[in-house]
């Protein structure tokens, strides 16, 4: 597995990370702990060193799973987690329904970090993201409290998630930002307009989540797909039958290139991301070993400048249908 450095920081990660959310949250009921532990071990054995979780995934269950599963590999892996939702770490997660409101008040951030340290069973959090920008708390205050936590040895690196360019700049002026996590893929390219140039200028890495379009870019979901009410894709405008059918052209494009390269559509989608910048580390999520191995195979797929030009030219003719989030969730992004 190749390694990459996130921006100008000294944070080194495997070129491909593993998003752990779906093991406990959003895609149906939490998966079997034993099976997910085996999958996390398999990821480490195959060279993945970068794992993504958050206190809100579960809530709390995902951090516990990741912390326990990766305990034998301390010092060999990088674990990223997130704060920013109004959760009480003392509550039983089974009683928490729906997505809570935002809370990035400094005292709450400190309390959230203590909870994450305990659940992850670590002395220091490798990379700590603000999960969503809280409009009620100046970003300077958030960056300031993370700076204090770094000086106290409880956190190594500061990150933001789905933040706007001006917020990134303001935060970075107080405490250097190591990475921005945001959705980015062939079917969500908005970060190219303002975010990626800002990151390049400031020397900040990009960690794309949903690099496979929440499964759509694998080619395994078509217009007849249905999603259980426990699967959050059932609430997304981009996953209505009409939108899925309209967006099939993008999967067809990936499939055509995949045939040429003796790869799969998912591998082409990931290879395309890896080819954009050397400081981009995608974090595809999966709960299946064969998918993990397929994703890792993307690192070996070489896309030439001609391939990339062909993909861009063809993709520019396709208009992706459907908003990526319902309005309430979209309002939490780009602040």
3-330 sits in which CATH class? Answer: alpha beta
Has residue 207 got a pLDDT over 90? yes
Average pLDDT over residues 53-82: 97
**pLDDT single digits (tens) 271-319:** 999 999 999 999 999 999 999 999 999 999 999 999 999 999 988 998 8
Has residue 222 got a pLDDT over 90? no
Single pTM value for the model: 0.96
Q: What is the pLDDT of residue 53?
A: 98
**pLDDT single digits (tens) 151-189:** 999 999 999 999 999 999 999 999 999 999 999 999 999
Neighbour count for residue 1 (Cβ, 10 Å): 15
Average model confidence (pLDDT) across the chain? 94
Of 53, 52, 117, the closest CA to residue 89 belongs to 117
Q: Locate the domains of the chain by residue range.
A: 3-330
Question: 41 and 69 in contact (C-beta within 8 Å)?
Answer: yes
User: How many Cα atoms within 13 Å fall on the side-chain side of residue 297?
Assistant: 15
Q: What is the pLDDT of residue 28?
A: 82
First to last CA, the chain: 35
Q: What is the pLDDT of residue 88?
A: 83
- The span from the CA of 282 to the CA of 323, in Å, is 22
Phi and psi, residue 52, nearest 5°: -115, 130
Helices (H), ranges, 102-138: 106-120
Q: What is the pLDDT of residue 95?
A: 59
Characterize the bridge pairing of strands 12-14 and 3-5.
antiparallel
Question: 16 and 295 in contact (C-beta within 8 Å)?
Answer: yes
**Active-site amino acid positions:** 57
Average pLDDT over residues 1-11: 94
Strand partners, 128: 81, 158
Characterize the bridge pairing of strands 177-183 and 205-209.
parallel
Strand partners, 48: none
- The span from the CA of 66 to the CA of 79, in Å, is 8
Q: With residue 161 as reference, give the H or E element that holds it.
A: strand 155-161
- The span from the CA of 253 to the CA of 96, in Å, is 41
């Amino acid at each position: 597995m190749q390694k990459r450095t996130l921006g100008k920081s000294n944070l080194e990660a495997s070129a491909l990370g593993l998003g752990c959310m779906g093991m406990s949250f959003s895609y149906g009921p939490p998966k079997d702990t034993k099976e997910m532990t085996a999958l996390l071990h398999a990821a480490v054995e195959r060279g993945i060193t970068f794992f993504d979780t958050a206190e809100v995934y579960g809530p709390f269950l995902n951090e516990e799973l990741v912390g326990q599963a990766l305990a034998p590999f301390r010092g060999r892996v990088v674990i990223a987690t997130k704060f920013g939702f109004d959760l009480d770490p003392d509550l039983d997660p089974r009683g928490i329904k729906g997505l809570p409101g935002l809370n990035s008040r400094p005292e709450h951030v400190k309390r959230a970090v203590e909870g994450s340290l305990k659940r992850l069973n670590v002395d220091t959090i490798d990379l700590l993201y603000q999960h969503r920008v809280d409009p009620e708390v100046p970003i300077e205050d958030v960056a300031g409290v993370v700076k204090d936590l770094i000086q106290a040895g409880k956190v190594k690196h500061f990150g933001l998630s789905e933040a706007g360019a001006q917020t990134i700049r303001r935060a970075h002026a107080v405490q250097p930002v190591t990475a921005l996590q945001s959705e980015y893929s062939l079917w969500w390219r908005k970060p190219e307009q303002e975010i990626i140039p800002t990151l390049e200028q400031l020397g900040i890495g990009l960690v794309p989540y949903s690099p496979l379009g929440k499964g759509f870019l694998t080619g395994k979901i078509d217009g007849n797909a249905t999603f259980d009410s426990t699967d959050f894709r059932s609430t997304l405008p981009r996953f209505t039958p009409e939108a899925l059918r309209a967006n099939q052209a993008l999967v067809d494009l990936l499939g055509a290139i995949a045939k040429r390269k003796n790869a799969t559509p998912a591998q082409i989608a990931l290879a395309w991301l890896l080819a954009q910048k050397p400081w981009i580390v995608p974090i595809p999520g999966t709960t299946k070993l064969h998918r993990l191995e397929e994703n890792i195979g993307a690192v070996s797929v070489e896309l030439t400048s001609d391939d990339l030009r062909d993909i861009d030219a063809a993709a520019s003719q396709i208009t992706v249908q459907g908003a990526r989030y319902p309005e309430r969730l979209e309002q939490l992004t780009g602040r």
